Structure 1
Amino acid sequence: MLKTLISALLALVVVSSGAVSEPVFGDGAREKDALSLWLRSAWRDYKSRFVTDAGAVIDDANKGISHSESQGYGMVLAVAADDLDAFRLIRDYTFETLQVRNDSLFAWKVEHTDQGPSIADMNNATDGDLLVAWALLEAYKQWNDPENLASARKILRDVATLLVHETGLGPVLLPGAKGFVDEDGKTLTVNPSYWVFPALESIAQFDRSANWAEIAVVGEEILDLSQRAPTYLPPDWVDISGFKLVPSDKFPPEFGYNAVRIPLYLAFSNNAFREKKAADFSTLHGFSNPEGPAVTHVVTGAIQSTMSETGFRSIAALSRCIDTSEPFPTSLLQFGSDSYYSSTLQIFTVLALAERNPKCLSPEW
């Protein structure tokens, strides 16, 4: 999927201008260079601000730590930018520093000290594991290195063994190997944003250690069941007991910095029903705030704060475009001042535009 992203980015301007009815990847007018230049410039800036010489991807808004999520995101973006050297740098750091458990999963949190990187939590984070595996599979498709395919399959084998939990709803992804099943084994705590739909779709093409397509469908069902009145926003964390789903009592019952990724993942999916779900977010209380999606109490509707950085507003703009054909604002392509997380989501949103929703590009391009 990601192998065609640069070509899709190059073609996006031509599509939006009405000059042609579908992407053209051949001889180009100068407009074709616009998004290619944007991606390369954004990636160059991203590397300079967040990727160390050793290959750690730094979460600057979270005390400068690195984690399996940041490493996975960085690897995916390196593939999308066709930057083999950066991909190898981030990949090698990820395996050498984070793959220190007794399985093929990754310790989720790394602190950086004067003495070097230090693992701060040996538990894994399933979304990070899936992002790394996804990046490896896309790298295999892009550069045809069988080592990347083999590494991805080892990770996915252990995700299937340790993190896929059978429930009455079907196979569910635990957020980590420890701490998310209660003592009697009857209540699970899950994070709906850990279902990275484009990753699961790519994984299903290459790995049979689990039924990844069914896992993705169950993730949709959990999302649907967690979206309740009055806000219909999914909480960051959900407790599942039998067929009952409620906001987890272990975390604040909020739609926040985890769940804000869900409409992006839905829009990035190669599935029309998931794209429709992304569109459905556009009018929800809190999410549709003009200043940016809001951290919202899902039970009372009380707004706690606004996620005003560009990446979060970009996700909301993508959702609106899918819903109403409102063009994606060119102002949201300004890059270089946001934190790691917002910057990551901003680039991913532009990639989702190029890959899935070129109609959203404004004619101003």
Structure 2
Amino acid sequence: MKRYRYQWLTVGLVILVASAIGVAIYDTKSPASTPGVGSAIIEKRYQEWKKLYLQGNDQQKFVKTNVGKKDQTLSEAQGYGMLISVMAAKQGFGSQKTFDQLTRYYVRHQISENNPLMAWRQNQDDIAMVSNKAEKTSATDGDLDIAYALILADEKWGSKGELKYNQLAKRLLTAIQNQEINQRTHLPKVGNWATMSQNENLVRTSDLMTAYFRKFAKYTQDSRWNKAVQNSQIILKKLSSQHKTGLMADFVTVSGERLQLGTVKPKQVASKYDNQYGFNACRIPWRVAYDYQISNSQVSRKIVEKMDDFFASQKRVTAVYSLSGKPLEEYENTAFTAPIAYAAQVTLNSELKARYTKKLTARITADDYYPNTVQMAALLTSGSIGQ
């Protein structure tokens, strides 16, 4: 669509008024106008993923995260599973039955009757899946995906059945806001266990899910989520500007109402790559591009496009980078390439689309839960472009 230098006076007045009251004036380069990956290939991959990774019985199912004989799962995985199943249903090939099976498992493994956050890990004990005392704490990323999936389910099917998605979502969001959101920074903590001075300011950068926070604000009418949107974008902009690559570390610290940034050390939280672009931060292109897809946020667009430019400059994308762009591993991993491929779909980066769409649509394999499940979630999100 061409832009004309001279517009009708009434159009100009509308723009002036909209700008004055803070209404977004959308750029004509809208991701919603671009078709995503075809539905047939997405459905095929979904059936592969479902067969390989969903375990349980007719009442409850979970996403298996290990390759051992005894099953293990994580709240992170349950969040992905619920998100994947409801997005598949929205695209015409998933079922409410599958979503409900996953939801019942979540409900069964809440931290307690009074705390709807999900226990972060369960292991198989005979025929039961159980959490020990140390595992009855939370991981914020899993809870955020579960809450978002419940809202999508309420929008898709309503909440008049056995499982009241709206009640589950609002109860969970209250707990997230009270236990997993830093009340000074309004940013997500890494879990409800992060209450001490040395860890309460830790932020998993891939948890800055502005698309989710927008939805939570509208769904609950709780204005604190708007503050989470605002501050998340402030931090993402700061982190993006620190390096020419636009890459961000798996974890950072953010403190005080002025949102002072700090760094973490290797192995301070999860791995030797805590302060590098590793297996947590690799999800950022997916999470931030999704915000651009649904809200047309120009802040999100610029952040993703800067990362796009870096990855387009690489002959191949390997797992784990320093923030300056040095590959720290020689092997490839779909957890890194699939989010980049999806982001390229959203930002209309033809070079990255041509190079990595095959990675996004590749066959789902049984070798590793994490990259295959991130791929499935990103692929389904790609399928929602233009809906």
- TM-score bracket, normalised by the shorter chain, equals 0.7 to 0.9
Question: 2 CA distance for matches of 1:352 and 1:293?
Answer: 23
Q: 2:219 aligned with 1:203, yes or no?
A: no
Counterpart amino acid of residue 65 in structure 2: D
Q: Report the counterpart of residue 254 of structure 1 in structure 2.
A: 276
Question: 1 CA distance for matches of 2:187 and 2:102?
Answer: 29
Query: Aligned runs of 1:1-365 on 2, under 5 Å?
Result: 35-54=38-57, 55-60=61-66, 65-82=72-89, 83-100=95-112, 102-120=114-132, 121-146=135-160, 147-167=164-184, 170-179=185-194, 181-182=196-197, 188-209=201-222, 211-227=224-240, 228-229=242-243, 231-242=245-256, 243-249=259-265, 250-251=268-269, 252-269=274-291, 270-272=294-296, 273=298, 274-284=300-310, 289-298=314-323, 301-306=325-330, 308-321=332-345, 322=347, 324-326=349-351, 327-328=353-354, 329-332=356-359, 333-337=361-365, 339-356=368-385
Counterpart amino acid of residue 263 in structure 2: P
Greater relative contact order (Cα < 8 A, sep 6+): 2
Q: Please give the per-residue CA displacement for 1:60-109, whole angstroms capped at 9, x wherever unaligned.
A: 37995311111111111111121111101111011112443641211111
Shift of 1:287: 8.4
**How has the CA–CA distance of structure 1 residues 209 and 347 changed in structure 2, closer, same or farther, with 3 Å as cutoff?**
same
Question: 2 CA distance for matches of 1:51 and 1:355?
Answer: 22
Say how many residue pairs are matched.
324
Q: 2:191 aligns to what SS in structure 1?
A: coil
Question: 2 CA distance for matches of 1:266 and 1:126?
Answer: 17
**How has the CA–CA distance of structure 1 residues 179 and 90 changed in structure 2, closer, same or farther, with 3 Å as cutoff?**
same
TM-score by length of 1: 0.79
**How has the CA–CA distance of structure 1 residues 282 and 330 changed in structure 2, closer, same or farther, with 3 Å as cutoff?**
closer
TM-score by length of 2: 0.75
**How has the CA–CA distance of structure 1 residues 307 and 212 changed in structure 2, closer, same or farther, with 3 Å as cutoff?**
farther
Question: 2 CA distance for matches of 1:318 and 1:148?
Answer: 28
Q: 2:112 aligns to what SS in structure 1?
A: coil
Shift of 1:357: 6.8
State the identity as a percent.
Answer: 22
Q: 2:248 aligns to what SS in structure 1?
A: coil
C-alpha contact (below 8 Å) 2:236/2:303 kept by paired residues: no
C-alpha contact (below 8 Å) 1:98/1:110 kept by paired residues: no
C-alpha contact (below 8 Å) 1:200/1:212 kept by paired residues: yes
**How has the CA–CA distance of structure 1 residues 154 and 237 changed in structure 2, closer, same or farther, with 3 Å as cutoff?**
same
**How has the CA–CA distance of structure 1 residues 296 and 91 changed in structure 2, closer, same or farther, with 3 Å as cutoff?**
same
Question: 2 CA distance for matches of 1:23 and 1:247?
Answer: 37
Q: 1:255 aligns to what SS in structure 2?
A: coil
In structure 2, stretches of 5+ residues that fail to align are 1-31, 90-94
Counterpart amino acid of residue 80 in structure 2: Y
C-alpha RMSD over aligned residues: 3.0
**How has the CA–CA distance of structure 1 residues 92 and 307 changed in structure 2, closer, same or farther, with 3 Å as cutoff?**
farther
Shift of 1:39: 2.4
Shift of 1:230: 6.0
C-alpha contact (below 8 Å) 1:312/1:346 kept by paired residues: no
Counterpart amino acid of residue 151 in structure 1: L
C-alpha contact (below 8 Å) 1:123/1:176 kept by paired residues: yes
Q: 2:56 aligns to what SS in structure 1?
A: coil
Q: 2:183 aligns to what SS in structure 1?
A: strand
Question: 2 CA distance for matches of 1:175 and 1:320?
Answer: 28
C-alpha contact (below 8 Å) 2:55/2:62 kept by paired residues: yes
Q: Please give the per-residue CA displacement for 1:329-361, whole angstroms capped at 9, x wherever unaligned.
A: 552212222622222222232233333479xxx
Q: Report the counterpart of residue 7 of structure 1 in structure 2.
A: none
Question: 2 CA distance for matches of 1:350 and 1:76?
Answer: 12
Counterpart amino acid of residue 303 in structure 2: K
Q: 1:52 aligns to what SS in structure 2?
A: strand
